[in-house]
Chain A
Amino acid sequence: MTAIDAETASARIRTPRRRTAVRRLLRRPPALAGLVGVVVVVLVALLAPLISPYPPLQVHYSTTLARPFSPGFLLGTDDLGRDILSRVIWGSRTSLAVGLGSTALGAGIGICVGMVAGFYRGWVDTVLMRFNDLVLSFPFLILAVGLAAILGPSLVNAILALGIGMFPLFLRVSRGEMLAIREEDYVAAAVVNGAPTRVILFRHALPNMLSPLLVQITLAIPAAIIGAAALSYLGLGVQPPAADWGSMLSEAQSYVSQDPTFAVFPGLAILLTTLSFNLVGDGLRDVLDPRRRR
């Protein structure tokens, strides 16, 4: 029994791996800053009705194109006299909705299809991967713009277009991981114990490929936010008068010579949001790679 007791004692000392990964992430200043930024943006979006000084659509005819720090309008007003601060605050909602929604869609499709391709291999894999190559051969933004143009401009269609444009990235990662995981002994053990394929894919394989997918997801969100801004800048995303960073930029473009600060704040919002997500994604990649398997 003493041998077993010693074994037990040594096993206790080690701590679970997930927790140390989070702790290591928080110890990196850039990642920590990114995380703070993400939390701030999310809070702003959630609390928009409470913290915005005016409703985003309220116009103030007497004060159009007001400069920043004018009385009552911290960041000034736009060409219709709407408060820019309020519109930037409300714009975070659409940006996050499109960013998170399209990433969730793309990741959902990509991961499921990738796991199937990697698990079954053979002709299933060949067909799916050639289709994937086909989609990948279009640049992400071109594809999204094309799809949005076909589907028609709206928030939901922007999510669809960006989501479809981005699933190949997830498909590649999850297929590669699945190819490795299907050879693992614990998958063989699950099969031997009578687990159906669905359980093997989602219960045994998916949790073990989360680390690289998590990195991919945090890096896809800012790409989707920029994509969303690009779509609405082109008039293919959220439609005016709804508050959106991309369409604000598009409106501000006409007034750059009269009021250059109009364009600065929505642009800054896009910059800081995507930077925050990117910093978190980079941090996660550093913490979870190189190959976390012991």
Chain B
Amino acid sequence: MTMTVLGVDDLGVTISTDQGPVLAVAGMSFRAEQGEMLALVGESGCGKSMTALAIMGLLPGGATTRGSITLKGRELTALSPRQMRDVRGREITMIFQEPMTSLNPAFTVGYQVAEMLRRHEGADRREALRRATELLERVGIPAPATRVREYPHQMSGGMRQRVMIAMAIACQPTVLIADEPTTALDVTIQAQILDVLRDLRDEMGMTVVLITHDLGLVADIADRVEVMYAGHRVEATGTDALFARPQHPYTVGLLDAVPRPQLRVAGERMVLRGIPGMVPTLREAPSCCVFSPRCPLADSRCRSEAPGWKEVAAGHHAACFQAGHLKPTVLADGGRR
């Protein structure tokens, strides 16, 4: 039984800059089911974080949105700022990339976790602190009864990210958005944090939207993947299908850019490929495929017409004219100079 918890439909975000408006997100749509780990993947500047901020209702001043964002069928874009504030933290919440600076240095971690419970659930001080201790234990902090009284500067990055997670889940939100939650952490700690997120998803049935550029992370933990490029989604499918049969040249490029030592043939080194060029800054909706300037397979059609969103297999969509008959080898050998 699946239930759509978070629905994003044709979301557009335009940011006004000194050089004029910039299209940060251009018609993004996706759904996240209950208890699902959905990954939004793409390079820096592709609109992942803007999508997350739009969902939270926290876009910077001067940004305008269109489209619809629903949480359990409730339209979030129609809520007043006060109503939205009640939604944040209680029903939908977010953790950031930088655990070192995301905690208030002036208060103990226990106080900060307890504050969530006191604000959103009206728990009294003692009850909130007791539950904060439980939450710290739940996210894998050893000796929680002691550490609940410590200040953030007494903790390492991994511990602080656990505290951030404890704060985020304090009110058992429906959706947790994790924006690059492990980027600033050591690899060994990364795995532990991912385990924590996975356990919480399993135990609490929480929906996790994981924002990352790290495909290794995606392969490890995500159920489904939405690949974003320049404010558009270019491919969406289950994690296994994405890695086995990528259907968009951009996805193929991303996968080629991941080191995979197991592919190394005897005596031959695997070649790490980059994708030449950069994510473009869009000023208006393009009339061609957004990836065509960097795509090795682009032809005249790609440069004059935007490809539609088409289903190439059950539950596997891509926005590419070649999708469905894309052969990775063609890309790797013939396509590149």
B88/A189 in contact, CB under 8 A: no
Closest Cβ of chain A to B289, distance in Å, is: 34
B156/A196 in contact, CB under 8 A: no
B89/A194 in contact, CB under 8 A: yes
A16/B89 in contact, CB under 8 A: no
A16/B151 in contact, CB under 8 A: yes
How many B residues have CB within 8 A of the partner chain?
41
Bound-complex Cα distance A188 to B99 (A): 12
Does B120 count as interface, using CB distance less than 8 angstroms?
Answer: yes
A194/B96 in contact, CB under 8 A: no
B93/A193 in contact, CB under 8 A: yes
Cβ-defined partner of B168 (8 Å) among A7, A122, A193: A193
| Chain B residues within 8 Å of A17, by CB | 153
Within 8 A of A (CB), among B97-130: 98, 101-107, 115-116, 119-120
Within 8 A of B (CB), among A195-225: 195-196, 199, 203-204, 207-208, 210
Cβ-defined partner of A204 (8 Å) among B96, B104, B151: B104
Closest Cβ of chain B to A214, distance in Å, is: 13
Does A3 count as interface, using CB distance less than 8 angstroms?
Answer: yes
Does B256 count as interface, using CB distance less than 8 angstroms?
Answer: no
B120/A194 in contact, CB under 8 A: yes
Bound-complex Cα distance A18 to B246 (A): 55
B154/A188 in contact, CB under 8 A: no
B142/A5 in contact, CB under 8 A: yes
Within 8 A of B (CB), among A257-282: none
Bound-complex Cα distance A12 to B189 (A): 20
Contact-residue size bin, chain A (C-beta under 8 Å from the other chain): 20 to 34
Q: Mark B137-151, 1 if CB is under 8 A from A, else 0.
A: 000001100010011
B94/A192 in contact, CB under 8 A: yes
B98/A185 in contact, CB under 8 A: yes
Does B181 count as interface, using CB distance less than 8 angstroms?
Answer: no
B143/A190 in contact, CB under 8 A: no
Does B164 count as interface, using CB distance less than 8 angstroms?
Answer: yes
| Chain B residues within 8 Å of A196, by CB | 85
Bound-complex Cα distance A6 to B151 (A): 18
Does A131 count as interface, using CB distance less than 8 angstroms?
Answer: no
Does A150 count as interface, using CB distance less than 8 angstroms?
Answer: no
Closest Cβ of chain B to A118, distance in Å, is: 15
- Nearest A residue (CB) for B153: A294
Closest Cβ of chain B to A280, distance in Å, is: 22
- Nearest B residue (CB) for A208: B106
B103/A186 in contact, CB under 8 A: yes
A185/B102 in contact, CB under 8 A: yes
Closest Cβ of chain A to B130, distance in Å, is: 19
Does B90 count as interface, using CB distance less than 8 angstroms?
Answer: yes
Does B47 count as interface, using CB distance less than 8 angstroms?
Answer: no
Cβ-defined partner of A7 (8 Å) among B107, B115, B159: B159
Closest Cβ of chain B to A186, distance in Å, is: 4
Does A127 count as interface, using CB distance less than 8 angstroms?
Answer: no
Does B188 count as interface, using CB distance less than 8 angstroms?
Answer: yes
Bound-complex Cα distance A7 to B154 (A): 10
Within 8 A of A (CB), among B141-177: 142-143, 147, 150-151, 153-156, 158-159, 164, 167-168
Bound-complex Cα distance A203 to B111 (A): 11
Does B15 count as interface, using CB distance less than 8 angstroms?
Answer: no
B154/A186 in contact, CB under 8 A: no
| Chain A residues within 8 Å of B143, by CB | 8
With A185-B98, A185-B101, A207-B106 in contact, do A11 and B150 touch (Cβ < 8 Å)?
Answer: yes
Bound-complex Cα distance A187 to B142 (A): 27
- Nearest A residue (CB) for B90: A194
| Chain A residues within 8 Å of B90, by CB | 194
8 new A-B pairs (CB below 8 Å) besides A5-B142, A186-B102? A7-B159, A14-B153, A189-B96, A190-B104, A193-B167, A193-B168, A194-B120, A208-B106
- The 9 A-B pairs at the shortest CB distance, nearest first, are namely A194-B89, A207-B106, A193-B89, A194-B88, A185-B101, A185-B102, A186-B104, A192-B94, A189-B102
Supply 14 A–B pairs (Cβ within 8 Å), ascending by A: A14-B154, A16-B151, A16-B154, A186-B104, A186-B105, A189-B95, A192-B89, A192-B94, A193-B116, A194-B89, A194-B93, A196-B85, A207-B106, A208-B104
